Chain A
Amino acid sequence: MENRSFDHMLGGLKALNPDIDGLNGDESNPDTTGAKVTVSSDADYQGQLNDDPGHHYPDVDLQIFNGDTSPARTPNMQGFVRAYFQKTGKVPSSRDIMKYFAPGQLPVLTTLAQRYAVFTRWFSSIPGPTLCNRAFAHFGTSFGHTDMSVNYVGKPIPSIYQRMQAAGHTAKLYYYNQSSSTLGLTFLLKNQPELFGLFKQFQQDCEMGRLPQYSFLEPNYKDGDDLANDQHPDNDVRAGDNFIGTVYNLIRQSPKWENTALLIVYDEHGGLYDHVSPPNLPPDHVDGNTDSQTGFQFDRLGVRVPAVLVSPWVEAGTVVKDRIFEHASIPATVTNFFIDPNYATRTQREAKAETFLDLLSRDTARPDAFHFGLGDAAHALTGMRRETIPMTQPGPGNPDRPISTLLYEHIHHIHQVEMTLPPEHQTGIDIAKIQTVAQAGEYIDKVTALLHPVAAAGGAQ
Chain B
Amino acid sequence: MKRRAAVGVLGTLLAGVPAFGDSEASRLADSCGQFKILPCATTLFTDHPFHIAVGSLSPGNGFAAGPALTFAHHTVPHHIPGPGGDTITHWRFGWDIDGVASSNRSWRAGLYLTARYTREKPTVVLPGAGTPGAASDLRQMSTVITGYVQTESLNQLSYYGIGQNTSRSNLAYFGMTQTIAGSHADVPLWTPINLRLFGEANARIIHLRSGVPGTVPSIEQIYTPATAPGLGDHKSYGQFAQGLSMTPDFGRLGLNYQVAFKEYAGSSATFTRMSFDLNHEFLLYGKSVPEPPRSFNGPDACARTETNLSCPPVTSSRNLKGSIGVRLLLMESFVPSGNTVPIYFMPTLGGADINGDTYLASYADYRFRAPNLMLFRVSFEHAVGNLPLGMIFTYDQGKVAATRDQLGFDHLAHSFSAGLTLRAGGLPVLSIMFAVGGNEGSHVISQVSPSLLGGGSRPSLY
Q: Which residues of A contact B (CB under 8 A)?
A: 104, 107-108, 111, 178, 198, 201, 203-204, 207, 223-226, 241-243, 245-246, 249-250, 252-255, 257, 369-381, 383-384, 387-400, 438, 442, 445-446, 449, 453, 456-459, 461
Contacts and interface: CB of A to CB of B under 8 A. Distances in A.
Given A390-B83, A395-B90, A438-B310, A225 B304 contact: yes
Contacts of A380: 124-126
Nearest to A389: B125
Given A376-B87, A380-B125, 8 more contacts: A108-B123, A225-B305, A253-B132, A372-B123, A373-B124, A438-B310, A453-B386, A456-B320
Interface string B67-107: 00000001001000011111110101000000000000000
B121 A204 contact: no
B226 interface: no
B129 interface: yes
Interface stretch (B133-141, B204-212, B371-379, B445-453): B133-141
A446 B139 contact: no
Contacts of A178: 289, 316
B128 interface: yes
Contact of B305 (A207, A377, A397): A397
A428 B82 CA distance: 51
B232 interface: no
B140 A393 contact: yes
A12 B82 CA distance: 21
Contact of A456 (B92, B128, B315): B315
A390 B81 CA distance: 11
B33 interface: no
A445 B138 contact: no
A257 B125 contact: no
B207 to A, nearest CB: 42
A382 to B, nearest CB: 10
A177 to B, nearest CB: 9
A388 B286 contact: no
A379 B320 CA distance: 41
Contact of B85 (A198, A391, A453): A391
B196 to A, nearest CB: 16
Interface of B: 74, 77, 82-88, 90, 92, 118, 120-133, 135-140, 191, 251, 285-289, 304-308, 310, 313, 315-316, 320, 386
Contact of B136 (A246, A378, A394): A246
A249 to B, nearest CB: 4
A119 B286 CA distance: 38
A438 B123 CA distance: 28
B316 A442 contact: yes
Contacts of A378: 83
Contacts of B251: 204, 207
B124 A392 contact: no
A369 B121 CA distance: 22
Contacts of B90: 395
Contact of B130 (A226, A255, A371): A371
A375 B305 contact: no
B129 A377 contact: no
A394 B120 contact: yes
A389 B124 CA distance: 5
A253 B134 CA distance: 9
8 contacts: A223-B305, A242-B138, A246-B138, A257-B129, A376-B124, A399-B308, A399-B310, A456-B289
B83 A388 contact: yes
List 3 tightest A-B contacts by C-beta distance, closest first: A458-B287, A390-B122, A393-B120
Nearest to B283: A458
A381 B127 CA distance: 8
Contacts of A394: 120
Contact of B122 (A111, A257, A391): A391
B138 A111 contact: no
B127 A384 contact: yes
B83 A254 contact: no
Contacts of A250: 136
B128 A107 contact: no
A376 B132 contact: no
A253 B287 contact: no
A458 B323 CA distance: 14
Contacts of A453: 386
Nearest to A449: B315
A238 B82 CA distance: 17
A423 to B, nearest CB: 17
A380 B82 CA distance: 13
Contact of B288 (A107, A111, A374, A458): A458
Contact of B129 (A369, A397, A446): A369
Contacts of A458: 285-289, 320
A458 B118 CA distance: 29
Contacts of A372: 123-126, 138
A383 B123 CA distance: 17
B240 to A, nearest CB: 31
A203 B82 CA distance: 32
B305 A399 contact: yes
B83 A392 contact: no
A373 B84 CA distance: 16
Contacts of A107: 122-125
Nearest to B85: A390
Given A392-B120, A399-B307, A438-B310, A207 B125 contact: no
Contact of A457 (B122, B123, B133, B287): B287
B136 A224 contact: no
B124 A377 contact: yes
Contacts of A398: 307-308
Nearest to B84: A390
A370 B288 CA distance: 33
A375 B129 contact: no
Contacts of B92: 396
Contact of B121 (A111, A243, A375): A375
A251 to B, nearest CB: 9
Nearest to A450: B315
Nearest to B321: A458
A397 to B, nearest CB: 6
A63 B90 CA distance: 39
Given A253-B133, A370-B126, A391-B123, A396 B305 contact: yes
Contacts of A400: 307-308
A392 B285 contact: no
B316 A373 contact: no
A405 B32 CA distance: 32
A359 to B, nearest CB: 21
A395 B89 CA distance: 9
B248 to A, nearest CB: 13
A380 B128 CA distance: 12
A21 B289 CA distance: 45
Nearest to A242: B138
Given A249-B136, A252-B129, A458-B288, A390 B386 contact: no
Contacts of B313: 442, 445-446
B338 to A, nearest CB: 50
